[in-house]
């Protein structure tokens, strides 16, 4: 009989294999100081492009005040227990009501975490006879939820409507053959890696031809897209066609928690059947109080979204003018596509941090194919023009070094914590 631990130690995984050289630097880094566009990393000042603080609410004075007062009044333990048993409150229900109204839906349910919530949502919606059709570049929480689904699932090529229709035809034929089940289509409002919007309008149009329900994960669209910030559905004019709208507080609201909005009858069903909430402690009251304030600011301070887009537009325009490939992003998410191996990518990151004071995230193999590098920059409303210009200069100079082969090394630099 094999020892499970022995197998794990022999194969540390594609990322874990680098842990002895990467921990604390390329992986599990520690940013210190007040959350903002400038923080410290290993004692050095950094311009940070890696934090999901889109609207700059993390350290907004009104938010800090609400967080402080909420913690002082209620403590972190209240309410104690799962909401179905002993953990409900008027404030939890008020936040749900306001979220539903903001998203033009009948009702909403709070979730403790987005990742956990999406996995559990797919489980509660779909039986073994149901078929899931989902975008190939869906977030890991969707992929994991789909993997646990006992029924059939069909994936369509990213934002490829011709392929989506093929999968809908396959799903419809199977439903008719087995004489049971329905179809759930899952996509994203804004894809967090590439920054392109899901083709919600085109997907919704298929409802005239095929019978299915549409679930949209709009983690990166909530607060950043649409006239009021209600998300990608509002941006594309199809919010009414989204059957279930899902988002998290971890991006625009710089907090913890998530929610699902939709028809009252379906939200009621979810509320009484979603295992991740039935068997988990309620969202702590200080977080609920803080999220109420964050939502209020998101809804009443349009200048926050305007400033975010001003930063994103200047950053993306500057990158394109300097010849960088930022793909098809039509959101504030700003990817930069380059060529190179894992070793080159880490050497370049080290140069950016140590010599230019720029902290941003990289994506390399096995998340993307070998030989490719993606830098993902997350603009926020608190970044300045100076931040942008220094970053553009840093990327221009390091890209020249990358193209000249200056970062070719045999192994990733050893920058692990002592």
CB 353 within 8 A of CB 44: yes
DSSP 200-263: HHHHHHGGGTS--EEEEE-TTTTTTSSSSS--HHHHHT-GGG-SEEEEESSSTT-SS-EEEEE-
Task: Write down all domains in the chain, each with its CATH number in brackets.
Answer: 4-54+302-404 (3.90.1150.10), 61-300 (3.40.640.10)
pLDDT value at position 358? 98
Closest CA to 135 of 168, 103, 111, 105: 168
Closest CA to 108 of 284, 234, 230: 230
Say how far apart CA 165 and CA 210 lie, in whole Å. 9
Query: Could you tell me the mean pLDDT of each successive run of 10 residues in the chain, 418 residues long?
Result: 87 81 88 96 96 96 97 95 95 98 98 96 96 97 96 97 98 95 98 96 97 98 98 98 98 97 98 95 97 98 98 98 96 95 90 96 80 93 98 96 90 77
CB 122 within 8 A of CB 162: no
pLDDT value at position 68? 97
Say how far apart CA 394 and CA 148 lie, in whole Å. 43
Residues across the chain: 418
CB 203 within 8 A of CB 187: yes
Burial of 359 (0-12, 13-18, 19+ CB in 10 A): buried
DSSP secondary structure code for residue 10 in this structure: H
Say how far apart CA 64 and CA 57 lie, in whole Å. 9
Say how far apart CA 125 and CA 133 lie, in whole Å. 13
Omega before 366 cis (within 30°)?
A: yes
């Amino acid at each position: 009989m094999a020892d499970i631990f022995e197998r794990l130690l022999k194969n540390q995984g594609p990322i874990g294999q680098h842990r002895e050289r990467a921990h604390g630097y390329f992986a599990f880094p520690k940013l210190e100081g007040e959350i903002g566009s400038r923080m410290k990393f290993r004692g050095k000042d950094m311009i940070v492009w890696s934090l999901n603080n889109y609207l700059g609410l993390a350290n907004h004075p009104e938010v800090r005040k609400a967080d402080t007062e909420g913690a002082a009044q209620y403590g972190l333990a209240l309410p104690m227990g799962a909401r179905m048993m002993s953990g409900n409150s008027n404030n939890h229900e008020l936040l749900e009501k306001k979220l539903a109204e903001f998203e033009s839906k009948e009702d909403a349910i709070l979730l403790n975490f987005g990742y956990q919530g999406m996995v559990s949502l797919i489980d509660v919606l779909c039986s073994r006879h149901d078929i899931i059709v989902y975008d190939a570049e869906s977030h890991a929480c969707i992929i994991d939820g789909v993997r646990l689904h006992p029924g059939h699932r069909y994936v369509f090529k990213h934002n490829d409507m011709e392929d989506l229709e093929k999968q809908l035809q396959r799903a419809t034929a199977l439903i008719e053959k087995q004489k049971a089940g329905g179809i759930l289509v899952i996509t994203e409002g804004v894809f967090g890696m590439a920054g392109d919007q899901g083709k919600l309008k085109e997907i919704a149009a298929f409802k005239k031809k095929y019978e299915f329900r549409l679930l949209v994960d709009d983690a990166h669209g909530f607060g950043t897209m649409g006239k009021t910030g209600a998300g990608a559905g509002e941006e594309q004019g199809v919010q009414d066609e989204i059957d279930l709208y899902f988002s998290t507080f971890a991006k625009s609201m710089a907090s913890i928690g998530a929610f699902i909005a939709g028809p009252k009858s379906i939200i009621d069903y979810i509320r009484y059947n979603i295992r991740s909430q039935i068997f988990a402690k309620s969202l702590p009251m200080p977080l609920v109080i803080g999220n109420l304030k964050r939502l209020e600011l998101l809804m009443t301070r349009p200048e926050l979204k305007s400033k975010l887009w001003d930063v994103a537009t200047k950053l993306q325009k500057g990158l394109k003018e300097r010849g960088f490939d930022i793909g098809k992003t039509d959101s504030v998410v700003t990817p930069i596509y380059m060529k190179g191996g894992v070793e080159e990518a880490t050497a370049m990151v080290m140069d950016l941090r140590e010599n230019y004071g720029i902290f941003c995230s990289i994506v390399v193999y096995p998340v993307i194919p070998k030989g490719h590098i993606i830098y993902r920059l997350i603009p926020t409303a608190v970044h300045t023009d100076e931040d942008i210009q220094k970053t553009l200069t840093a990327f221009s100079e390091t890209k020249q070094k990358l193209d000249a082969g200056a970062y070719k090394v045999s192994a990733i630099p050893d920058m692990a914590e002592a």
